[in-house]
Structure 1
Amino acid sequence: MIACHCDSCRRQTGHHAAATAAPAEMIQIEGEEHLGEWRATGRAVRRFCRTCGSTLFWQAVGENMVSIMAGSLDLPTGLEISHHIFVAEKGDYYEITDDLPAFPGESKPS
């Protein structure tokens, strides 16, 4: 799971976003009629719950992987943050204090 500190995630969630990912074909959605869709740019589709407004997931246009917001999952998730991305865009009101890898932009660790 990643912690994304980019401008888009910060504005969408109110802070940094913690997300995991799965192939689209592995995701089953109950209550799909309650999903809303938002596109800030032509690069990604963001989906949210029309009932409560919760940010649920997003998918880059043309990509198979869906990024799922960790806060939308029932506990216990068993997830742990592995690294931080877009730290160059993080808010000025907090510091990253863990020892996890942190990248100024997007990075896919090997």
Structure 2
Amino acid sequence: MHNGSCLCGAVAFTIDGNLSPPSVCHCGQCRKQSGHVWASTWTDQNNLNFTANDTLQWFCASDSARRGFCNACGSFLFWQHNDEDTISISMGALSAPTGLMLSKHIFVADKGDYYDITDDLPQRAH
């Protein structure tokens, strides 16, 4: 069981199920919404249960996915593809200890020009 919340606590949740090894996304949308890169894990959406979600708002960032955030504090919490039964959860929203370790970098072809990736994790162009 994992717990998580936004910065102000108005969106809070539990995850009762397995979480994927986290990845770091370098795409332009994640960088713009998070302020840098976005580290996330994913699980089956049925594993996610909200204990508070009055301020949860969804933004359709593209025709294929939506992004969930708290409209009170602005925390970027979720990413969900329209055609999948999984949901990505921000690693920063999870309470420690998570027991997880970063596994890869994705969308590195879109990474910002202001930083280098200096670890030895696998990198996917898209």
Tell whether the structures are fold-level matches, with TM greater than 0.5: yes
TM normalised by structure 1 equals 0.91
Percent pairwise identity: 47
Q: Distance in 2 between matches of 1:42 and 1:36?
A: 17
| Higher helix residue share | 1
RMSD of aligned alpha carbons: 0.9
Equivalent position amino acid for 1:103 in 2: R
* 2:39 paired residue among 18, 25, 41: 18
Aligned length: 105
Partner of 1:93: 114
Q: Secondary structure at the match of 1:9?
A: helix
Q: Which runs of 5+ in 1 are unaligned?
A: 106-110
Partner of 1:27: 48
Q: Spell out the pairing of 1:26-45 with structure 2 (5 A cutoff).
A: 26-45=47-66
Equivalent position amino acid for 1:71 in 2: G
Q: Deviations over 1:55-78 (max 9, x none)?
A: 011100021010001011112222
After TM superposition, give the deviation of residue 16 of structure 1 in Å: 0.8
TM normalised by structure 2 equals 0.80
Q: Distance in 2 between matches of 1:66 and 1:93?
A: 29
Partner of 1:81: 102
After TM superposition, give the deviation of residue 85 of structure 1 in Å: 0.6
Q: Which runs of 5+ in 2 are unaligned?
A: 1-21
Equivalent position amino acid for 1:70 in 2: M
